[in-house]
Amino acid sequence: MPDRSPAEVFWTPAGIEEAIGGRWLAAPDRDARYAGLGIDSRAVRPGRIFLAVRGERFDGHDFVQAARDGGADLVIGDDQAKLSASAGPALLVEDALATLQSLARAYRDRLAASGTCVIAVAGSNGKTTTRHLVHTALSAARRGTQSPASFNNHIGVPLTLLGAAPGDDFLVAEIGTNHPGEVARLAAIARPDVAVITSIGLEHQAFFDGLDAVAREQETLLDHVWDAAVISSQALEHLAPRLPVDRTWKLIRYGPEDAAPLNGVDREVVMRAACCSAETGRWRFAVDATPFESPLPGRHNVDNALAAVAVGSHLGLEDAVLAEALRDARPAPMRGQVMRIGSSSRGVVLINDAYNANPDSMRAALDMLAEHPADRRVAILGDMLELGSAERAHHVAVGEHLVGINALGGGIDRLVTIGAPASAIGDAPSESMPDGWVHRFDRWSADLPAAVAGLLAPGDVVLIKGSRGAGLERLVPAIEARFGQDGAIPSSDPPPAP
């Protein structure tokens, strides 16, 4: 009889017991085999395990029967009464969330035994895009998976690991934080072979006091890396003094060719001759002798693509293979996603970057907008949240950055702010832009989307960006209604030259 795979051994009653313990309220057949685990009763399929986890809005124990109806062969939770209320195999544990994380730690051992390379992507900005580009690049020659959407927290990282198949060549996991200590806890679960740190910036300043605190948080990822750390030049400026002198992993730095020399770097992946095409708005650059074209708009996405090149090269892929794979990459939803809405003569080009924002990413997005060929450029900006006592100052500084872009001939022609904090972005532009070019909406209302859409004109290139809580993607249906939904075609291609 052939040996069973690590996954087959893990997803059995005995394997689950070994990983998490617990007490059977109703024991399954000891020969049972499971097809994985989930926490969403709506997505349960026959043969899977349902783990009842409490979230901010829902308690998974309230959906145990729905999970069984969907085909769950086993339910696990920490509420005995609710588990026992439905018939079928059930395992009682002390804490369902802790159980999820314990399962992921144990499964990580199975991934290591099967040779799966785990890559963790962290940093203040660009995590999701970089994770997506790393997955795209590696998939050109290897088999692997990545975090679904932004599964980068205490629930998402364990689910990402549990969703991988032993025997896959790689897994790319995104690691986020909004409170001190979260990166360390997630890194201890993921235990990455390769760690990527994209940047150190002003994220979640209500909980991190300045860049030094952010750097302290991000560097804890390096305490858990096995093989290599791939770190941007910008991030390494903040992290270099913190690097352990007795490290056993390789240090790979990526960034522009004019980065200052740094001792202790094992390898440099250098971007040369970076330039933005005035005709297409696409960035081009070279690594060694291989030309690359960034698939996504904006200079900041060149860095994200370069991170993918650095990881792929470290894992043995040829630069030419990586260049071909990245050329046709598509953006993750609401992260620099370019959409043509309406016809080429009557429509607009929308840059949907509405998933999240902080001061650094907001400035990068404005730079991206200024690079786009357009008849007229419109920035629609929402609140940046979790900035603490410096909230107003950070919003004012974004407006000053916009003024600086225009002073250099960048040409952002209209500014719309949505939300009371975001209103401060308009302070400096109101003093330098013509009357009627700055529009401020202090609060969301039912008629606001139509009012904002009414400020746009055919030929505009429109950026929408704000923190997740701002929800600026709610503007898109009104823009589609104004300019013709039939012509809304998601695209990573830049708009045509005017």
pLDDT tens across 151-164, in order?
A: 999 999 999 999 99
- 361 burial level (CB within 10 Å; 0-12, 13-18, 19+): buried
pTM: 0.89
pLDDT tens across 44-56, in order?
A: 999 999 999 998 8
Residue 332 has which token pair? 């993750």
Mean pLDDT of 420-436: 94
pLDDT of 277 > 50? The answer is yes
What confidence tier does 261 reach under pLDDT thresholds 50, 70, 90? confident
Q: Considering only residues 380 and 205, tell me which one the structure prediction assigns the higher pLDDT.
A: 380
Vertex 386: Cα angle to 382 and 388 (nearest 5): 115
Q: What is the pLDDT of residue 64?
A: 96
- Mean residue pLDDT of the chain comes to 91
Q: What is the pLDDT of residue 486?
A: 45
Whole-angstrom Cα Rg for the chain:
24
The Cα–Cα gap between 203 and 124 comes to 6
The Cα–Cα gap between 328 and 342 comes to 23
CA distances from 46 to 15, 73, 104, 150, 296 (A): 19, 7, 21, 26, 39
pLDDT of 427 > 60? The answer is yes
Q: Among 202-206, 329-333, 385-389, whose mean pLDDT is lowest?
A: 202-206
What confidence tier does 278 reach under pLDDT thresholds 50, 70, 90? low
Mean pLDDT of 30-39: 94
Residue 405 has which token pair? 């872009």
What confidence tier does 6 reach under pLDDT thresholds 50, 70, 90? low
Q: What is the pLDDT of residue 164?
A: 94
Mean pLDDT of 434-440: 93
Query: pLDDT > 90: what percent of the chain?
Result: 76
Q: What is the pLDDT of residue 367?
A: 93
Domains of the chain, CATH where assigned: 6-94 (3.40.1390.10), 115-327 (3.40.1190.10), 337-491 (3.90.190.20)
pLDDT of 63 > 50? The answer is yes
pLDDT tens across 330-357, in order?
A: 888 899 999 999 987 889 999 999 999 9
Most confident of 142-156, 275-289, 327-341, 437-451: 437-451
Mean pLDDT of 203-224: 89
Q: What is the pLDDT of residue 5?
A: 55
pLDDT of 392 > 80? The answer is yes
Q: What is the pLDDT of residue 494?
A: 34
